[in-house]
Amino acid sequence: MGDFDGEEKELIKKLVNFRMIDGERTRVRAIVYKTFHRLARTERDVIKLMVDAVDNIKPICEVVKLGVACTIYDVPGIVARDRQQTLAIRWILGAAFK
C-alpha cells in the first residue's frame, strides 16, 4: 500500500491529520492503514474507493455571508478545492463515528 500518486497521498495525509489528537500521527496512521488493509480483503482498491467517495460528496458551492451597507446577505459562493476535500472528509468521518 505504499505506491500512491499525489492526490492519494494528499488525501491520506488529510485523513490522518484530521483524526490526529495530541500529536500521535504515527498511531493514527497505523490505524488508518490497518483499516484500509481490513477493507482490502473485500474491496480490491481501497484507496481508489476512498478517493471516489470524497469526489462524490464534495460540495461545489456554499452559502457565504456578505456584508453590504450594514446588512448581511447570504450569497452562494464557489468552494475552494482544498475546502471541498476538507468538508468531504469531515462529513465521512462524522458519519462513520455516528
| Cell 458519519 found at | 95
Position 6 scores a pLDDT of 67
3-class secondary structure, 41: coil
Query: What are the structural domains of the chain?
Result: 6-97 (1.10.455.10)
Per-residue pLDDT tens digits for 6-27: 667 777 778 777 777 667 778 7
pTM (2 d.p.): 0.67
